[in-house]
Amino acid sequence: MRFNNKKFIYLISPLKINKSFYNNLIEVLQYKKVGFFQLRLKNYDFKKKLLIGKKIKKICKKYNVKFLINDDVRLSKKLGADGCHLGQNDMKITEARELIGNKIIGITCHNSIKLAKIAISNKADYIAFGAFYSSKTKKVKYKASINLIKKARRITKTPIVAIGGINLHNYKNLLLNKANFLAISGYIWKNKNLKPKDAIKKIT
């Protein structure tokens, strides 16, 4: 699967979707830096996620952004999303393939080359490593290093997504060390100093 590397931001939704979110998302996507958008909602029921997902899918389609669902393969299928992202405790990639076919499936590999090798052998479309930095969005259980990206690069051409506390001050180092995409959430949605559109504008 080929991805556009000029659009190197893998944007993850905030945990709560409010009314202003949709306009903010439109403003952010207009800068053409986002390649993926992942809907990650832990505290919403299926019906609510479906309603939210339909609105976001339309916006993503307009700006040519791949729309992915976190964890929930059935929701991804129901929405006709571009794919899903699976954690190590979620559905197995082989089962997910049976449900959504040749859509994008990405796998969380924490800080483990072993997990990355398993994901690659199961034909994951990308592998995600992290957390590279401390994050306000998620409690950090696993710490990843730049060296991990270098090791992974030696064994695979599978796209690498870096995740965890990525912001204006640390993102360039990850790109320079061959991370293909940077998963960003808090810097855009929880930034105390910048509105979402201004936060994305500063990442060049």
How confident is the prediction along the chain (204 residues), in pLDDT tens digits per residue?
Answer: 445 568 999 999 999 999 999 999 999 999 999 999 999 998 999 999 999 999 999 999 999 999 999 999 999 999 999 999 999 999 999 999 999 999 999 999 999 999 999 999 999 999 999 999 987 666 778 999 999 999 999 999 999 999 999 999 999 999 999 999 999 999 999 999 999 999 999 998
Sequential DSSP letters for the chain: ----TTS-EEEE--SS--TTHHHHHHHHHTTS-EEEEEE--SSS-HHHHHHHHHHHHHHHHHTT-EEEEES-HHHHHHHT-SEEEE-TTS--HHHHHHHH-SSEEEEE-TT-HHHHHHHHHTT-SEEEEE-SS--SSS-------HHHHHHHHHH--S-EEEESS--TTTHHHHHHTT-SEEEESHHHHS-SSS-HHHHHHH--
In a domain, 4, yes or no: no
Q: What is the CATH number of the domain that holds 127?
A: 3.20.20.70
Residue pair 114/120 in contact by the 8 Å Cβ criterion: no
Domain membership of residue 95 (yes or no) is yes
- Domains contained in the chain, number: 1
Beta bridge partners of 83: 68, 104
At 96, list the tokens: 């997910």
Flag whether 2 is in a domain: no
Residue 53 lies in a domain: yes
Report how far residue 144's alpha carbon sits from residue 16's, in angstroms, rounded to the nearest whole number.
27
Is residue 1 a part of any domain in this protein? no
Predicted TM-score of the model (pTM) = 0.95
Q: What is the pLDDT of residue 137?
A: 65
Q: How far apart are CA 189 and CA 178, in angstroms?
A: 25
91 part of a folded domain: yes
Which domain, by its residues, includes 97? 9-202
In this structure, the number of other CB atoms found within 10 A of the CB of residue 31 comes to 15
Q: What pLDDT shows up at residue 51?
A: 98
Neighbours of 176 (CB within 10 A): 9
In a domain, 48, yes or no: yes
Residue 129 in any domain: the answer is yes
Confidence at residue 139, expressed as pLDDT on a 0 to 100 scale: 72
| Per-residue pLDDT, 4 | 56
Q: Which residue has the tokens 């796209």?
A: 159
